[in-house]
Amino acid sequence: MKGFPKTLKTRQDILNCKAMVDAGVFKASDLQKAMNKLEATNYIVLQVNGLSEDRKTVTTNYCAEAAAGGTAVAGNVKASIKSVTHNEETNEETGQTNNVSSDIVLSKAIAASSETLKVLKATTCFDRLNMTEEEFDSILADLEA
């Protein structure tokens, strides 16, 4: 292999790169950056368009993937999704109904200043890599040490 790989597609790719970091061939920061980029693909980032007074109901643009039982993150707050209501709008000229926003009820309040809400996708990078989140986090922690 010549230089750090452009993509990490499998668990073995990560383990090989980690071994090369340990051997001094690659920089730990390169692998950290690549793994953080992979982990970021786990979420759908939604703009917060409205927030209830108790800061537990978040209005976002329509998100079909948001579902009860899922996970959402805003800043340092990680919460489970209790329920989702999709709001529709009917075009008066055509009579066609379109989803325009989603009201997502969370188990915890988020910061009033939150501008985005990240909703965990059904298929995560851990699934694609055939790696557990714990294995992934363990490697990242080792790189930070």
Q: How many domains does the chain have?
A: 2
As a whole number of angstroms, the distance between CA 56 and CA 80 comes to: 11
Q: Do 26 and 73 sit in the same domain of this protein?
A: no
According to DSSP, the residues that pair with 71 across neighbouring strands are: 80
Q: Is residue 4 part of a domain?
A: no
Residues 80 and 37 in one domain: no
How does pLDDT run across 76-93, given as a tens digit for each residue?
999 999 999 999 999 888
**Inter-CA distances, 104 with 27, 114, 132, Å:** 41, 14, 27
In this structure, are 37 and 60 located in the same domain? no
What is the tens place of the pLDDT at every residue in 30-80?
999 999 999 999 999 999 999 999 999 999 999 999 999 999 999 999 999
- Does 3 reside within a domain? no
> 11-35: per-residue pLDDT in tens?
999 999 999 999 999 999 999 999 9
Residue at 30 is within a domain: yes
